[in-house]
Amino acid sequence: MKHVFSFIAVLAAVPAIAEENRQLDAHEHGVGALNIAIDGSTVAMEFHAPGADIVGFEYAAKSDADIAAIDAAIARLKAPLDLFMMADAAACSVTEARAELESEESHDEHDEDHKDDHAEEGHDDHDGHDDHAEDAGHTEFHAEYTLDCENPAALTQITFAYFEAFPNAKEVEVQIITTSGAQAFEVERDAPVLDLGR
């Protein structure tokens, strides 16, 4: 009976695992997403981009070079005004910046079920994670920023130096929310200046 029970438990977990995989599978390599909310002098931004765009790989970091590439990318992503350049006249400064690498296993709450299957093979937790991530494939960088802009009326353009920093990035889908509504844009490498028309 114990065997039957665990089989049912694994089946029950499948839809949730499939759904999580769909989320990261849904990202398109070369395409990032930037959401910007402007409220008075406060500008809140959220950024997502595939690992392929930022470091050129999405497997779990193995070599020192991989780890160094991820650390360097996170450091660059923590400097939003160097990537998404606002007009000097807006006098923006960064009040908060966070960046991290998200991989599938870090969101997989059902990982414990898999570990039970492999327990006899003597893998420790660390090796198990590496193997899983290699098979799974997709990672994303995620960043959140808060800016304070002394003169928000001067926020008329954003220059995406992001494309120079990350050669694999091709496009960013931008959504801007202000008190007057929401607007969507696509900013491409060929034309990296977003005119906010305000």
Binding site for Zn ion (CB under 5 A): 50, 58, 138
The tokens of 40 are what?
Answer: 């008075």
Nearest CB to Zn ion, comparing residues 54 and 83: 54
**Distance in Å, CB of 47 to Zn ion, minimum:** 16
The tokens of 115 are what?
Answer: 């570990």
How far is 115 from 118, CA to CA, in rounded Å? 5
**Distance in Å, CB of 162 to Zn ion, minimum:** 18
The tokens of 155 are what?
Answer: 């926020």
Amino acid at 32: G
**Distance in Å, CB of 53 to Zn ion, minimum:** 9
Nearest CB to Zn ion, comparing residues 57 and 159: 57
Number of residue whose CB is nearest Zn ion: 138
CB 90 within 8 A of CB 151: yes
The tokens of 7 are what?
Answer: 């089989």
**Distance in Å, CB of 15 to Zn ion, minimum:** 22
Instruction: Name, in order, each residue with C-beta under 8 angstroms of 60's C-beta and a sequence gap of 6 or more.
Output: 103, 129, 130, 133, 134
Nearest CB to Zn ion, comparing residues 50 and 80: 50
Nearest CB to Zn ion, comparing residues 32 and 50: 50
